Every structure is written in structure tokens, then in C-alpha cells.
Structure 1
């Protein structure tokens, strides 16, 4: 060991190494904080006037350029510090100084240049991001020419191997990130099942179509335009619906939609108007008070249809297929129920969505119950890609219309047909395997 080497030059070199380690910690911590920070939280801070959060959002808009600049700066200071340490320790210890410098700098860089700053940064991602972002913007501008060349070279090499980079790809994964965060919050107990279902229901509106939640045409209550006024009034008063489609000759021939309040106004004008005559009720024309029917294709998304309902100031639409044949109907309430759950009023039948488990472990499920409702009620994950109802799922998987008593096992569940009417499965026994 040559103590004569401990001159001013040696101590200046040591000071430079310490400064480079601080810069290494800055680059490492900044990279971790900016990549781990929630853009949602940064946006909320920016909206409140935080200039640091605004800078952080600007930096993370181009992750590829940001990471390139930070890695370039980090590698430059790490390599420089290692070179200076090797030169200084070689003067002090001779040839063995190379090995000593390698060990010492590896330990220092690992602890003070990597682990320590990254641990702190990931624990305080948003706070660190807002502090370092203005400086990182300067670093990006300084290294921009070199980063541009490096990025072009990297993309060229990746292209040779058939890998295509999409700098805007993170925007496409935003919805999946939100869904994953909600699911993670629910599994951790931070988000209740009811809240999770509402949030997931709102997110799913853009991916689901009206034919998945519509009321099937076999369940639609309709008014025959050729029926007597007395029969029409009796039917409207007995119905639990305020809007009823009006048809003539065939249920496929929908002529309009009558609202109970409009019908009441017409009856009131006939019986209590200036020319009131009880016999005038026989001349009641249901089509006179019926609104023009509103038809929509079955491929319309729920999000788009909700906007159309609000725009048209109507709550009722008839769903048709690609051939124009009536498939069912959908209301604004049906769409809202996908978010908030069942909306019941004094005229609705008591909901039966709560399924009770029998002694043998089976749940008795209505065949017309949608798979989505069953999944939400029981917290299951049955697929609903090929069928909307539980009965439809069984028919799809069985590739046949099963008879009563037949049982099948798929997707981790056992399904047994408990009731069948004509070609329709009415009840099923479902049991998780």
C-alpha cells in the first residue's frame, strides 16, 4: 500500500466517486418512482395546481424516451465512478487495486445506487415523482439526441426479430389495469363485493350488447290493436308495466308503444271532456295514443344505447336481428341494473336472485337466469361468451336439448336438468365440483 498516493488528486477522485454515487441514486430512484407512480393520482394533483405532478405526467407520456434517458445517465455515472475507483485504488494498492475496486464499487452501487433509492422511491412513488420530474425533463432534453439514436437502433434490432413496439400501447391497457385494481382490492378486502359489481358493471357497458340483457320476445307483454277497448283497458290496468307494445295480426307486426299515462289521458278526455259520453269509450283508438316504435339492432352496445336513450328522452326500445325480426325489448332501467343491481318498485315481483343451497349441495336455478346474474350473485366465473342464460350454456355445451334428469359436468360445475317445457329448459340444479 503506497500512502504517498493519498494526495489532493486522490481525495478529489474520492469526492467525485461520492458525487457520482449520489447521481446514480438519483437516476435509479427517479426511474422507479416515475414508472411506479399512479397517473391517476398524478392527474388529481395536477388538477389541484401541482406543477411537479404536471411535469411528471409530461415525463411519463413517453416512457420509452424517459427510460432511455435515465438508463443512459445511470450507466454513464456508474461506469465513470467504477473507472475512477479503479484508477485511485490501483495507485494505492497496485495491481490488486482492480479487484478491490470491483468489490467496493459493486457493493456501493448495489446499496447506495440501486437498492436504497429504489426502495424509498417505490414506497413514495408519487411524492418522489413530483420532486424529480422537473430535473428529469432537463435530463431528457440534454440526452435527447443520443436517446433518439439509441431508440432507433433498438427498434431496428427488435424488428429483425419480428417484435413491434407500440409506444401508445399502455393506453389500450388502461381498462385492464382498472379492472385488475378493482379485483385486487376486492380480494384484499378493501373493496366490497357490492361496490366491485357496480364498478365492473359500469366498465363492462362498452363491451356488452343489448341482446345479452334484453327481455326475450317470448316474455314481452303486448296489446292487440284489434282487441276491444274494455279488454285493452283491463290489460293495461292489470299489467305491472307502464309501456306496452301494440301489434296487429302478428306479434312481429309492432305498430307502436302505448304508455299507460297517455291511455289514461285519452280515456279521461272521452269520459270527462267537454263532449263526454260513456258510449264514446267504445270508439277508443289505441293507435291514436301509441308512440312510434323505436327499433335498434341487437349488436348495439349498452354504453351506446344508454346515450341514445338519454338523447332521445325515451326509455324503451325494441330489439331486432339482422333480418329485422323482433328479438326482444330493452329499457333504460335494464341497463342501469347492470351497474347498480336490481331496481324494484311496488309493482315488481319479489326478486328471487338469492339462491339457497339444498342438503345435497345443489342450487336450484331458473333456466332463463343470465349467466352474468348468476356469476354476480354467487361470485362464480362461468363463461358467457357463447350463451347469455344458464340454460343456453347447458345446451351449448351439451350440443343438444337435454331431457329432464340428464346431468353434465363442465367448467368446474355439475348441471342437472330439473325441469323442461317443450324445447325450453326451465330449471336446473347447479353444484360446484
Structure 2
């Protein structure tokens, strides 16, 4: 080193600091790349993304390569800085060189390149991966030896798998959708989140209860049957004998109207046109039932309990509305026919309304892990069928029972967002 001038050593030291900055920035850039965007770019033929993705498949080799290069450069820079310091300041130059080099390395070879790389990982990682690939080929034996030693120490610590797992959990995917911001329109975000929620919702949560099923009693007067067919709001109608438990099947209105146009419509022709029933066990998650509808080429099914008793009816449209429900609901400016806004700000609500539908439409927060209807929720809360004019506070909503008949709450008045100021143990006020 005596034959080399001090100015040449300073230039060499400057180059080493640049190389150190390169390794530091490359490490941060490669490790902060968005793996999903990286796969997307690589799939579209981006060469830099393909190189980076291939190197990230073995992060242990990549980290080993970068650390070998960075440490060799930093150690060499320290030695050269010491020589320069001794030449310029004598024995005290060692301390001066150490302190000065520490500051320079921290600012220009660590903090600055790593910060820039963290902010712009693709701009650094993609071109850097080209040089790193060739360095890995040259230094592969040394990198492998280092990885073997490292793996032995990791095994001693109880760590056996050094491969990364980039799979997202459902909650992580939900966070990704939320944080997409303007990249995904708000309505589309709601639809994506609804798809993620399908496995949390069962058919009994969205089914039409047996008491609300629009159906035809084949033993009724034929004029009434004809009227029900003509005025049906649905394309498929359930057909039964005397009681809903004695179901015959479904009739498609297209078939019934065709028979009417040919003047061949009768009870016997109606029964011949009935389609076979498709049964669904209660508790079936919506994502499973959606797949079942597709696999069995069905659009409507009867929900039955463990004893085979009919509980309700579910259609393919009901499940699809769970996905696009918030999208369509957001277009509605007035509440549904089950909800009537009063001048005092309260709401008169049909107590047979589904709680999930009520929460969605009104942006309320009634519990949905128990009874499915508002009537059932109130009865469960009070542990009794209340009389009219009974008031209670439930989930921070003031509720007044307006009408009760046939052992059911028919109509309630709700005043939302009432703060609970009484003792928490108080359940109702009659």
C-alpha cells in the first residue's frame, strides 16, 4: 500500500462506499418487492421481474450473496480508511478514520440507499438483479458453504424450513382489498368482501322462511290455482298438497303459461309439469351451496333440518344478492317496504324482517349470530312474547313493540343510536 498514493486510496475508498451502497440498496429493494405485483409482471414477460422472482425463490442464497459482498467491501473500506488516516494524522488517525468512516457508511452506504430502495424497490431491484445473478454464479460455492453453515445453526435453534410462504389468509386478503383504495372501485370492494364472507353465512341466514314461501296448494279450487299462477311474482313456484310439508315439486311459470295458452291447463297437467325437488341441509355455507347449485345445475332448493322438516327456500339469486347486495342496495335511496320512516326520525319495521337484511339496508349493528328475524331476536332477548307497547333497549337501539298477534311480534318502532345511560344489567322497560 506504500506505493499507492493517498489520492488513489481515497478514490478507491469512494468506489468501495458506492459498492456498499449498491449492496445495501439491492438488499432492501429485493426484500421489499411486492410479490404479487412481481408475479404479475413476470407473467407478462418483464425480464427484470422474472430475474428478481427467480432469485427470491431462494432468499437464503440471495441474502448470503449480498451479505458476503457487503461485508467484504466494508471490511476492505475500513482497512483503506485506516491507512489513509495513519498517513494523514499519524497514530491518532486510526480513531479519526474509524469515526469518519462510520458516519460516511451510515449516511451514504446504509440509510440513504436503503431508504431510496424502500421507496422505489422496482427501480433498484430489476436492474440490480442482472448483476446479482452473475455475482451469484461466480460466488455460488462460497454462498452454498455459507448457507450450509447457517442451516446447521438454524437447526440447532429449531428452525428447519427456510422457505418463505407468501400465501394470504382470508383476513390478510380482506386487508389488501380494503387498502386497495382507488385502485378498486368501492362497489367492487364490497363485492369482493362479500365473496370472502360467503363461507361465514349459511343458507338458513338468507332463506325465505316456510311461512313466507309463495306456493300453490294443488288441492285448492282450480280458479284460485289459475289466479296464483297468473299473478305469481316468481318464475318458479312451489306446489304442495294441503300442507307445505307435503311438497310435490316446482312448477316453472313458463310451462304453466304454455299450458294455459293451449287451453290444456288442469290439475293433472300441472302435476305432470312439476319439476323434481332439490333439498339443501340447513347450515350449508353459501360458498358450498353456490358450488352445489353450479354442479347440479339447479337454481332453487328447499332447506330442510336434520329431521327432514322444511325450513325454507333458497334460490341462486339469493346467493348472488349476497355478493352484489351492497352494490344494488347502495343505489336505493329509500328503505324497503318493510321499513317506514316516521317524521320523528324513528322507523316502523315489520318484525319478520331478516336481521342481516335490516343491518345491510340501515347500516345498523344488530347481532346476527342467533335468531334470523327481528321478532326472534326480541323474543330471545326478553325470553317471553311481549305485549304491545313494551319498550326495550337492545344493541343500543330503543325498540317499542307496536303490534303482536298469533304469538308473534308483527310491528316494532326503532329509534337508532340511543346511548345506554342506565345500568348495563337492565334489560327491558315495560
TM tier relative to shorter chain: 0.7 to 0.9
Instruction: Give the conservation status (yes or no) of the 8 Å contact 1:69–1:144.
Output: no
1:197 corresponds to: 190
Aligned residues of 1:365 and 1:430 also touching (Cα < 8 A) = no
For each residue in 1:286-313, what CA deviation from the matched residue of structure 2 results, as whole angstroms up to 9, or x when unmatched?
Answer: 3211111111223433333333333433
In structure 1, distance between residues paired with 2:355 and 2:73 = 58
User: In the alignment, does 2:241 pair up with 1:256?
Assistant: no
Cα distance change of structure 1 residues 359 and 97 upon mapping to structure 2, 3 Å threshold: farther
Aligned counterparts of 2:58 and 2:400: Cα–Cα separation in 1 = 56
Instruction: Give deviations 1:26-51, integer Å, cap 9, x for gaps.
Output: 33322332333333332332233212
**What's 1:405 paired with?**
390
Shift of residue 202, structure 1, vs aligned partner: 2.9
Structure 1, unpaired ranges of 5+? 272-280, 345-349
1:128 aligns with 2:124: yes
Query: Quick check: 1:57 aligned with 2:42?
Result: no
Provide the aligned length of Structure 1 versus Structure 2.
405
Q: C-alpha offsets along residues 111-133 of structure 1, whole Å, 9 cap, x if unaligned?
A: 22222222322332233333233
SS at match of 2:166: helix
Compared with structure 1, are the counterparts of its residues 172 and 181 closer, same or farther at alpha carbon in structure 2 (3 Å cutoff)? Answer: closer
1:302 to 264, 286, 304: 286
Q: TM-score, normalized by length of structure 2?
A: 0.77
Unaligned runs of 5+ in 2: 329-333, 420-430
- 1:247 counterpart = 2:246: no
1:259 Cα offset (Å): 0.9
Residue of structure 2 in register with 1:115 after alignment: 111
| Distance in 2 of aligned mates of 1:97 and 1:106 | 14
In 1, the alpha carbon distance for the partners of 2:289 and 2:220 equals 33
User: Are 1:209 and 2:192 counterparts?
Assistant: no
Among 318, 326, 336, the residue aligned to 1:352: 336
Q: Which residue of 1 aligns with 2:228?
A: 235
Change (3 A) 1:90 1:39: same
CA contact (8 A) 2:338 2:353 kept: no
1:278 counterpart residue number:
none
State the SS of the aligned residue for 2:416: strand
Inter-CA distance 409–232: structure 2 relative to 1 (3 Å threshold)? closer
Deviation at 1:264, TM superposition (A): 1.9
Q: CA shift at 1:138, angstroms? A: 5.1
Quote the Cα distance in structure 2 between the aligned partners of 1:46 and 1:110. 34
Matched, 1:147 2:143: no
The residue number in structure 1 matching 2:44 is: 48
**Residues 233, 167 of structure 1: CA spacing in aligned structure 2 closer, same or farther, 3 A cutoff?**
farther
Work out which of the residue numbers 171, 175, 179 in structure 2 matches 1:180: 175
CA RMSD of aligned residues (A): 3.8
TM-aligned CA deviation for residue 429 of structure 1? 1.8
Q: 1:290: which partner in 2?
A: 274
Match of 2:26 among 18, 30, 41: 30
Correspondence 1:312 to 2:289: no
In the other structure, the counterpart of 1:414 is 397
Tell me how far apart the structure 2 counterparts of residues 206 and 63 of structure 1 sit (CA, whole Å): 35
**Deviation string, structure 1 residues 323-381 (Cα, Å, up to 9, x no partner):** 3332222212112212222799xxxxx96199787676655555455555455445566
Cα distance in 1 for residues equivalent to 2:260 and 2:194: 41
